C-alpha cells in the first residue's frame, strides 16, 4: 500500500479564520492574467541582479525555469497558474516559488525584533537587502523564505548528526538520495491567492485544498508545502513564518530516508511545534476542538497552560494516551501543547539522544504496509525512550511533570 500523499495543515489564529475549501477543475489553461505586484516586477532579482558571484554569496543556485516535481518544471506550473505571476528560486536543498505580495512588518515588538535580527543575518549574504525596509517586498520575502528553509535544514542535520556527505549524490530512490535520502530537493510554494493554490493542488496533486497542505510527490519522491496567504486570513508576517517552519519540520522528519511509514504523532508534532514556536508570534498551528475551552488571549502562551495541567492528576494526557493518537484530526489543543512540551523536555534532557532516536526510527526498512508498520514504529519509539532515556510510560509522565513544574512559569 502506498503511503498517504497529502497532509492538510489546519491552523487556529487568535483572529477569525475561514478554512473553507474549494478547487477548480483540472485544466492547463493559465489563470486569468491580472496586474498583481509580482507580475510587474519582472524576472530579474534586484538583490543579486543575476550576477554569479552575488548569487553564490546569497546561496542561490538558480532562478526559474528549473525542474520542479513529478517530472514537471516551473514552466509547466507557470502555464497553469499564469506566466510571470510567480518568482522562482533554487538553493542547495530547496526549490521555492512565490507569488506573495509585499507585507508590512509584524505589530508585535518581539516579532519585529526577531525579523530585524533575521534581516541583519540575511544582509551578510545579500548585501543589497535593505537594513530597515518599510515593508517586505516579494523578492525580499522569497530570500527570507530561502534563508529560513536552509536554516531549518541545517538544524535538522545537526539534530540527527549528519551532513550532506552522508548521502549519495546520484541516488534515484530513497533512502539513497542526496537530500536527506530523497533524490529530489524539498519544495515550497507560497501563493498569495487561494485560487492559485487550489489550481496547483488540483492539477499537480490531484486533491482539493486552498489554504495549506503538505504533499508527497511520489514519482520523484519530493515533499512540498503549499500554502495560500489569502487562506490564512489575518496572519501577519510572523504568523506565516511560524506556519512555514511548522510545515517544513514535518516535511524534513517525514522525508528523511524516504517516506514509507508514519512517524509517532506526538513526536512529529512536538518537533514541529518546538521549532515553529521559536518564531515570536501569537498565531497557532493547531485545531482547537469544540469541547476545549481556551481563552483566546492566552491560547499562544503554552508553558503556563501545560504547567496548570501537569500539576493535577487527571488533568494532563498520560503518555500512553498521547502516544495512541495516530490521526491529526484527533489532536486537540492540549494534545498539541503537551506533545510540544514532551519533546521540549527530551531536547532539554539530551538533544543528542533525541536525534539518535529519530535516526533509528527512520532507519527501519519499509515492509510496504504503511499503517501497520506505523504501529510498529510507535512501539519502537517507546522502546527507544526506555533504552536511551530510561523512561517507560509511567516514568516519562513522572519525570516530565517534575520538570514542567520546575521549568515553566505559573503565568
**DSSP string for 284-338:** B-----TT----GGGTT-HHHHHHHHHTSTTTS--HHHHHT---GGG--HHHHHH
For residue range 81-91, what is the model confidence (pLDDT) as tens digits?
999 999 999 99
pTM: 0.91
Q: What is the pLDDT of residue 20?
A: 26
Q: What is the pLDDT of residue 34?
A: 47
In DSSP terms, 188 is beta-bridged to 96, 225
Tell me the C-alpha distance between 195 and 228, whole Å: 9
Enclosing H/E stretch for 103: strand 103-104
Residue 129 near residue 162, CB atoms below 8 Å: no
Enclosing H/E stretch for 348: helix 333-361
Residue 43 near residue 51, CB atoms below 8 Å: no
Residue 187 near residue 98, CB atoms below 8 Å: no
| Assigned C-alpha cell, 408 | 515553566
Q: What is the pLDDT of residue 65?
A: 97
What integer best gives the mean pLDDT of the chain?
A: 90
222-228/186-191 β-pairing: parallel
pLDDT at 26 over 50: no
For residue range 299-351, what is the model confidence (pLDDT) as tens digits?
999 999 999 999 999 999 999 999 999 988 899 999 999 999 999 999 999 99
Q: What is the pLDDT of residue 30?
A: 47
Find the range with the poorest average confidence among 103-107, 118-122, 248-252, 273-277: 103-107
pLDDT band at 233 (very low <50, low <70, confident <90, very high): confident
pLDDT band at 290 (very low <50, low <70, confident <90, very high): confident
Q: What is the pLDDT of residue 401?
A: 98
**Is the pLDDT higher at 4 or at 277?**
277
Q: What are phi and psi of 378, to 5 degrees?
A: -60, -40
Q: What is the pLDDT of residue 35?
A: 55
What percent of the chain has pLDDT above 90? 82
| Assigned C-alpha cell, 73 | 518544471
**Is the pLDDT higher at 141 or at 9?**
141
- Per-residue pLDDT averaged across 218-227, rounded? 96
pLDDT at 28 over 90: no
For residue range 235-287, what is the model confidence (pLDDT) as tens digits?
999 999 999 999 999 999 999 999 999 999 999 999 999 999 999 998 989 98
Is it true that the peptide bond before 235 is cis, omega within 30 degrees of 0? no
**Listed residue (19, 398, 57) closest to 213, CA to CA:** 19
Amino acid at each position: 500500500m502506498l503511503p498517504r500523499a497529502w497532509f492538510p495543515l489546519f491552523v487556529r489564529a487568535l483572529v477569525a479564520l475561514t478554512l473553507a475549501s474549494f478547487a477548480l477543475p483540472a485544466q492547463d489553461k493559465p489563470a486569468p492574467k491580472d496586474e498583481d505586484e509580482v507580475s510587474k516586477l519582472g524576472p530579474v532579482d534586484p538583490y543579486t541582479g543575476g550576477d554569479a558571484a552575488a548569487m553564490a554569496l546569497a546561496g542561490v543556485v538558480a532562478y526559474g525555469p528549473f525542474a520542479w516535481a513529478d517530472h514537471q518544471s516551473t514552466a509547466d506550473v507557470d502555464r497553469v497558474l499564469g506566466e510571470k505571476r510567480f518568482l522562482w528560486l533554487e538553493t542547495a536543498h530547496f526549490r521555492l516559488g512565490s507569488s506573495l505580495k509585499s507585507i508590512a512588518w509584524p505589530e508585535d515588538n518581539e516579532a519585529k525584533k526577531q525579523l530585524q535580527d533575521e534581516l541583519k543575518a540575511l544582509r551578510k549574504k545579500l548585501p543589497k537587502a535593505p537594513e530597515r525596509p518599510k515593508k517586505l517586498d516579494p523578492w525580499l520575502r522569497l530570500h527570507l523564505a530561502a534563508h529560513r528553509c536552509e536554516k531549518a535544514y541545517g538544524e535538522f542535520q545537526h539534530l540527527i548528526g549528519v551532513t550532506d556527505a552522508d548521502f549519495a549524490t546520484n541516488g534515484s530512490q530513497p533512502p539513497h538520495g542526496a537530500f536527506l535520502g530523497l533524490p529530489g530537493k524539498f519544495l515550497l510554494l507560497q501563493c498569495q491567492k487561494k485560487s492559485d493554490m487550489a489550481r496547483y493542488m488540483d492539477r499537480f496533486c490531484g486533491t482539493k485544498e486552498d489554504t495549506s497542505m503538505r504533499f508527497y510527490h511520489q514519482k520523484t519522491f519530493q515533499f512540498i508545502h503549499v500554502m495560500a496567504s489569502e487562506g490564512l486570513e489575518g496572519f501577519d508576517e510572523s504568523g506565516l513564518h511560524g506556519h512555514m517552519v511548522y510545515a517544513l519540520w514535518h516535511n524534513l522528519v517525514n522525508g528523511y530516508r524516504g517516506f514509507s511509514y508514519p512517524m509517532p504523532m506526538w513526536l512529529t508534532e512536538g518537533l514541529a511545534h518546538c521549532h515553529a514556536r521559536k518564531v515570536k508570534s501569537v498565531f497557532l498551528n493547531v485545531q482547537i476542538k469544540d469541547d476545549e475551552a481556551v481563552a483566546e488571549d492566552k491560547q499562544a502562551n503554552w508553558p503556563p497552560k501545560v504547567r496548570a495541567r501537569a500539576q493535577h492528576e487527571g488533568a494532563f494526557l498520560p503518555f500512553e494516551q498521547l502516544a495512541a493518537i495516530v490521526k491529526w484530526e484527533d489532536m486537540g489543543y492540549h494534545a498539541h501543547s503537551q506533545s510540544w512540551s514532551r519533546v521540549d523536555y527530551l531536547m532539554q534532557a539530551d538533544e543528542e539522544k533525541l536525534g539518535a532516536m529519530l535516526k533509528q526510527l527512520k532507519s527501519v526498512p519499509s515492509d510496504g504496509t504503511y499503517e501497520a508498520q506505523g504501529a510498529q514504529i510507535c512501539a519502537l519509539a517507546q522502546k527507544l525512550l526506555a533504552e536511551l532515556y530510561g523512561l517507560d510510560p509511567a516514568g516519562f509522565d513522572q519525570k516530565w511533570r517534575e520538570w514542567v513544574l520546575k521549568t515553566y512559569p505559573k503565568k
